[in-house]
C-alpha cells in the first residue's frame, strides 16, 4: 500500500506504479511495484529513506529549511523540520526500523546566480544544512547524497529493489 500526503499530517491511501511528489508533499510505501519521484528539484531537497528488510520507503519534497516563521498550521512536508519526522513516523508505521534505514538526500542547488544575487541567502544550502542538522540530532546517518551545485535534479526510489536514481537536468540517471 502507498500512503501519500499533500500538506497534511494524515496520510491518504493512494496506489500506482509511479507517484510524483509536488512541492511540500510526502509519501511512504510498502508496495513493491511503487516508485516515489521528485521531479525538478532545484533549491528544494528530497529526503529519501528505505528499509531493505521490509521493503518500505518514503520520500519528502522539502521546500524550506524550517517552520519557525510560518503561521500556525498542521505539520507539512514543505519544511525540513516537519517533513523528516512525518516520513519517519510513516515508514515506522509500515514496519521500518530507523537503525536499518538507508537515508539519502538530493537537491539543494543554487538556482539563482549573478550579480543581483551576490551575498543573498542561498535557500538550497540552507535546506541541505537543515536536513543534515536534523538527521544528526536523530542519529540517522546519511548513506548517500547528491546536493548543491547549480543544476536541478530528479530523484526516484523504486520500492521493489530499493534503488535510488538521481539525474541532473539533461543527463542520464545514476544510482546513489
Question: Where in the sequence numbering do the catalytic residues fall?
Answer: 44
User: What residues contact residue 152 under an 8 Å CB cut-off, 6+ apart?
Assistant: 40, 41, 42, 109, 111, 168, 169
Matching residue, cell 523528516: 84
Helices 80-93, 123-137: crossing angle, 10 deg rounding: 50
| Other residues' Cβ atoms within 10 Å of the Cβ of residue 121 | 9
Matching residue, cell 528530497: 46
DSSP designation for 121: -
Amino acid at each position: 500500500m502507498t500512503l501519500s500526503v499533500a500538506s497534511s499530517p494524515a496520510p491518504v491511501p493512494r496506489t500506482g506504479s509511479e507517484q510524483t511528489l509536488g512541492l511540500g508533499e510526502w509519501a511512504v510505501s510498502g508496495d513493491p511495484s511503487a516508485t516515489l519521484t521528485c521531479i525538478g528539484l532545484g533549491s528544494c531537497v528530497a529526503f529519501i529513506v528505505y528499509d531493505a528488510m521490509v521493503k518500505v520507503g518514503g520520500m519528502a519534497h522539502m521546500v524550506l529549511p524550517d517552520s519557525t516563521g510560518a503561521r500556525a498550521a498542521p505539520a507539512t512536508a514543505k519544511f525540513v523540520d516537519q517533513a523528516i519526522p512525518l516520513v519517519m513516523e510513516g515508514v515506522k508505521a509500515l514496519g521500518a526500523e530507523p537503525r536499518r534505514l538507508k537515508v539519502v538526500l538530493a537537491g539543494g542547488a543554487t538556482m539563482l546566480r549573478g550579480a543581483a544575487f551576490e551575498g543573498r541567502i542561498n535557500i538550497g544550502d540552507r535546506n541541505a544544512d537543515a536536513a543534515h542538522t536534523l538527521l544528526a540530532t536523530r542519529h540517522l546517518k546519511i548513506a548517500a547524497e547528491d546536493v548543491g551545485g547549480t543544476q536541478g535534479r530528479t530523484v526516484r526510489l523504486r520500492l521493489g529493489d530499493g534503488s535510488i536514481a538521481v539525474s541532473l537536468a539533461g543527463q542520464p540517471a545514476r544510482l546513489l
